[in-house]
A and B are shown apart, each in its own frame.
Chain A
Amino acid sequence: GNSVTQMEGPVTLSEEAFLTINCTYTATGYPSLFWYVQYPGEGLQLLLKATKADDKGSNKGFEATYRKETTSFHLEKGSVQVSDSAVYFCVGIFSGTSYGKLTFGQGTILTVHP
């Protein structure tokens, strides 16, 4: 079946470190892929998205490239800040699902220390 798998955390980094959160998907077709972020005490927000192979989504210094060959959508940021501390979810919308149903990865808790 369709699924999204992301690296388990928690991830702890120092400010200005490089961030990678891995995400892979399993699907019969080609899903649309998203990264959502949940800051402490807030609702989920769309961080970036990519709807087809080789698309690169980017926002707030974060990037993720939709790679069909490796069925991956890894999230990266060159220099993290304390304010990036949050929970990050890799999410997919798969072909054949109704009403735009989202399939969530497990979530990765990121903590950035000064």
Chain B
Amino acid sequence: GAVVSQHPSRVICKSGTSVKIECRSLDFQATTMFWYRQFPKQSLMLMATSNEGSKATYEQGVEKDKFLINHASLTLSTLTVTSAHPEDSSFYICSARDGPRGETQYFGPGTRLLVL
């Protein structure tokens, strides 16, 4: 099946720094990618929908200036957590849809962010 990778898998940073997380679709083109946040023992919360070549659509309550999303190509989307704070520590997961009408989403393995 389709494979989505994320990099890095784990990152520790100091408060106030920015962190970039990459999401790649390895063997298919993804016009739409999604970014989620998962808290311990909780479900996934959709943060934003990323469309290749256009601005991301953010869910209500998600600060777009803090969580910058760029989808510059059909196989790569990036999430940058700017001026990270300890409360941003979480598990960030991306997914990609297999085509404009595809209903199946393929998920990356996630990135564990710890802000000290």
The winner among A43, A104, A107 for most chain B CB atoms within 10 A is A43
Q: Which residues of A contact B44 (CB under 8 A)?
A: 44, 89, 104
**B: contact size bracket:** 20 to 34
Q: Is B78 located at the chain interface by the 8 A CB criterion?
A: no
Instruction: Name the one of A32, A42, A49, A104 contacting B109, with C-beta atoms under 8 angstroms.
Output: A42
| Nearest Cβ on chain A to B99's Cβ, whole angstroms | 10
Of A21-29, A62-70, A78-86, A94-102, the one touching chain B? A94-102
CA distance A100 to B31 in the complex (A): 12
CA distance A38 to B41 in the complex (A): 12
Q: Which residues of B contact A99 (CB under 8 A)?
A: 32, 34, 49, 51, 57, 97
Q: Which residues of A contact B110 (CB under 8 A)?
A: 43
The number of residues on chain A lying at the interface, defined by a beta carbon within 8 Å of a beta carbon of chain B, is 22
Q: Is B107 located at the chain interface by the 8 A CB criterion?
A: yes
The winner among A32, A36, A44, A101 for most chain B CB atoms within 10 A is A44
Question: B32 — nearest CB in chain A belongs to which residue?
Answer: A99
Within 8 A of A (CB), among B91-108: 93, 95, 97, 102-108
Would A51 and B103 count as touching, CB distance under 8 A?
yes
Interface residues in chain B, defined as those with a beta carbon under 8 Å from any beta carbon in chain A: 4, 6, 32, 34, 41-44, 46, 49, 51, 57, 93, 95, 97, 102-110
Not counting A49-B103, A107-B43, a sample of 16 additional A-B residue pairs whose C-beta atoms are within 8 angstroms of each other reads A43-B4, A43-B109, A43-B110, A44-B44, A89-B43, A89-B44, A99-B32, A99-B34, A99-B57, A100-B97, A100-B103, A101-B49, A102-B34, A104-B44, A105-B43, A107-B42
Give 11 A-B contacts (CB < 8 Å), ordered by A residue.
A43-B107, A43-B109, A46-B106, A51-B103, A99-B49, A99-B57, A99-B97, A100-B103, A101-B46, A104-B43, A107-B41
